[in-house]
Amino acid sequence: MYQRKKRRPVAEINVVPYIDVMLVLLIIFMATAPLITHGVKVDLPKMEESDLVDTKDTPPIIASIDAQGKYYVSIGTDPEEPIEALDVAAVIKLQLMKNPETPVMIKGSGKVSYQEVLLLMDFLKNAGVPSVGLMTESFEGSKG
């Protein structure tokens, strides 16, 4: 009589179902990724005047960017002529060496791109400015 050989159980994992699941997940993520990356339009609010920065003792250093992307620095007075961004950082660094408690503010035109304001903040950070304030226009909409 024919004797059957005893088979040993196979100790391998069948990976085909796992590959199928991974491909399905890949397709789902590829389909949903473009939907997630869209930005949201945000209208930044204007603020009422506040006394967040006390400037009675020392006038603030104001780094400004106009609509053409030119940089200005005013230290207690109005700026006179445009200067380069690296020079802005150097002037502010010198002023902070004289008086490290002087507040530093950035005043950007509404027509300047957000990227240019961030570049100026990066120049100031590299110059050793510990904190920077952003100036806003005050509005009279809700007063009375």
Q: What is the pLDDT of residues 11-44, one digit of tens each?
A: 888 888 899 999 999 999 998 887 765 555 555 5
pLDDT at 45: 55
Interatomic CA distance for residues 97 and 54, integer angstroms: 20
- If you average pLDDT over residues 100-110, what whole number do you get? 82
Share of the chain above pLDDT 70, in %: 73
pLDDT at 138: 57
pLDDT at 13: 82
pLDDT at 142: 43
* Residues 6 or more apart whose Cβ sits within 8 Å of residue 98: none
